[in-house]
């Protein structure tokens, strides 16, 4: 049995058909044939999109998001695979948890990739069973936004895994600089009287993490880069040959400290959104490949966690359905912009999560996202209260082909 995708424009820098309009014939989960055509395109197609980090409420906080609603949001956002944070109650920190997660999510249209906890109960002290979690299917280890304060723990984790192709996620923030700081340190936030966490916190932690990585080996993935200095440090580390990858989030690309003027808790994210200069450096990092991925950073909360005073509101924002539309509205619907997007949500994530690459070419797995950069914004599918206050959205995914199934939406 085969499917045929007519008149789709290829966005895939690694494909010989990049920029061409083609007919795709899909069979047995693979791209069977690619036929160029001179007809105008009805949609664009790229290797399927992968989110390197999203959070679900389930287990323990199903009022925020369930596996089903997260899957629906991811599908509507055009993603075929999503790496899911181990946070929850209980935390996913052992092989049984990983296996249960996979069993409970395998029926969903979008493939959920489990991240396992780095430390037992994400306590930041005792290594979790990394080998057994990987055996059970974990694609990376992450202490669920708890910054790895213990240099010893990170050193041990990197040493312990340095013969495996599996990333250790770190949120590079030294919280000891101001344990209660919640926003960027700047003139804009000085006006608000909120406690600050300067970009210096990111730089100090990056310097430490790179030293540890150099010493111990292993693969380090940095989540949520937020500052210009941080991007420069990542570039320098890559130049030194360190096995480091990094992402920033859609919140950090779209918002700055100036947007906090009305104490909007939807913009209370961790690490904090920073200055315009930092934002420009993040965009430059995405464009030149210093940053490997754009993460949704989707972190759903209920109204009770967010519609309260800024100081008491939880960190995190929901964005999964709108990440692409926000990117396109801001950066453009031209081919180069769309290629940048595809690199940041397909090639980069597949590389850092060791998923194997997908190309728009004969014989490649048929894991595909179809999208329309000029189309209307997508409908909301997720359950979260705390969607980012996007000012402008443009375009959306219009279909996903994954694991032999074709899902379309308009």
Interface positions with other proteins (CB under 8 A): 178-180, 185-187, 190-196, 198, 262-263, 304, 307-312
Shortest Å, Cβ 299 to other proteins: 20
Q: What is the distance between the alpha carbons of residues 146 and 400, in angstroms, rounded to a whole number?
A: 33
* Cβ pair 171, 269 in contact under 8 A: no
CB-nearer residue toward other proteins: 139 or 269 = 269
* Cβ pair 282, 251 in contact under 8 A: no
CB-nearer residue toward other proteins: 131 or 195 = 195
Strand-pairing partners, residue 4, are 25
- H helices, E strands: number in the chain: 13, 15
Shortest Å, Cβ 29 to other proteins: 50
Treating both helix axes as pointing N-terminal to C-terminal, what angle do 276-288 and 228-239 enclose, rounded to 10 degrees? 30
Q: What is the distance between the alpha carbons of residues 44 and 383, in angstroms, rounded to a whole number?
A: 28
Sheet holding 167-170, edge to edge: 49-54, 79-84, 111-116, 140-141, 167-170, 219-222, 244-249, 293-295
Shortest Å, Cβ 186 to other proteins: 5
Q: What is the distance between the alpha carbons of residues 251 and 388, in angstroms, rounded to a whole number?
A: 7
Shortest Å, Cβ 305 to other proteins: 11
CB-nearer residue toward other proteins: 151 or 308 = 308
Shortest Å, Cβ 9 to other proteins: 44
CB-nearer residue toward other proteins: 226 or 397 = 226
CB-nearer residue toward other proteins: 162 or 178 = 178
Shortest Å, Cβ 301 to other proteins: 14
CB-nearer residue toward other proteins: 104 or 302 = 302
Phi-psi region of 234 (alpha: psi -120 to 50; beta: other; left: phi over 0): alpha
Q: What is the distance between the alpha carbons of residues 165 and 188, in angstroms, rounded to a whole number?
A: 42
Token couple for 234: 């990542």
CB-nearer residue toward other proteins: 192 or 216 = 192
Shortest Å, Cβ 64 to other proteins: 17
Phi and psi at 154, nearest 5°, equal -65, -40
Shortest Å, Cβ 190 to other proteins: 5
* Three-class secondary structure of residue 246 per DSSP: strand
Token couple for 13: 């820098």
Phi and psi at 38, nearest 5°, equal -95, 0
Q: What is the distance between the alpha carbons of residues 111 and 109, in angstroms, rounded to a whole number?
A: 7
CB-nearer residue toward other proteins: 39 or 304 = 304
């Amino acid at each position: 049995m085969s499917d045929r995708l007519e008149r789709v424009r290829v966005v895939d820098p690694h494909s010989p058909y990049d920029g061409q309009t083609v007919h795709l014939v899909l069979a047995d989960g693979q791209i069977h044939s690619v036929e160029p055509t001179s007809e105008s395109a009805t949609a664009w197609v790229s290797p399927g999109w992968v989110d390197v980090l999203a959070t679900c409420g389930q287990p323990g906080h199903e009022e925020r998001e369930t596996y089903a609603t997260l899957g629906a949001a991811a599908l509507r956002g055009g993603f075929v695979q999503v790496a899911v944070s181990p946070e929850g109650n209980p935390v996913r920190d052992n092989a049984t948890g990983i296996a249960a997660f996979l069993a409970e999510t395998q029926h969903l249209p979008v493939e959920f990739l489990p991240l396992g906890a780095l430390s037992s109960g994400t306590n930041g002290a005792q290594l979790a069973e990394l080998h057994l979690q990987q055996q059970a299917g974990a694609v990376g280890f992450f202490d669920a936004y708890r910054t790895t304060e213990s240099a010893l723990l990170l050193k041990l984790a990197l040493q312990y895994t340095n013969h495996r192709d599996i990333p250790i996620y770190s949120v590079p923030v030294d919280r000891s600089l101001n344990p209660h700081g919640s926003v960027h340190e700047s003139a804009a936030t000085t006006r608000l009287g909120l406690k600050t966490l300067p970009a210096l916190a990111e730089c100090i932690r990056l310097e430490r993490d790179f030293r540890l990585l150099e010493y111990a080996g292993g693969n380090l993935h940095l989540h949520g880069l937020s500052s210009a200095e941080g991007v420069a440090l990542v570039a320098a580390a890559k130049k030194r040959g360190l096995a480091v990858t990094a992402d920033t989030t859609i919140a950090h690309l779209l918002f700055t400290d100036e947007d906090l003027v009305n104490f909007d808790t939807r913009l209370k994210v961790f690490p904090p959104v920073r200055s315009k200069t930092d934002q420009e450096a993040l965009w430059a990092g995405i464009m030149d490949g210093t940053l490997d991925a754009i993460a949704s950073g989707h972190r759903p909360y209920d109204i009770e966690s967010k519609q309260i005073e800024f100081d008491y509101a939880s960190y995190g924002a929901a964005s999964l359905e709108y990440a692409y539309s926000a990117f396109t509205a801001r950066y453009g619907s031209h081919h180069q912009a769309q290629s940048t997007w595809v690199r940041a949500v397909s090639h980069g994530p597949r590389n850092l999560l060791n998923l194997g690459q997908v190309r728009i070419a004969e014989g490649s797995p048929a894991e595909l996202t179809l999208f329309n950069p000029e189309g209307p914004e997508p409908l909301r599918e997720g359950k979260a209260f705390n969607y980012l206050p996007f000012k402008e959205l443009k375009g959306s995914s219009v279909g996903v082909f994954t694991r032999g199934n074709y899902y379309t939406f308009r």
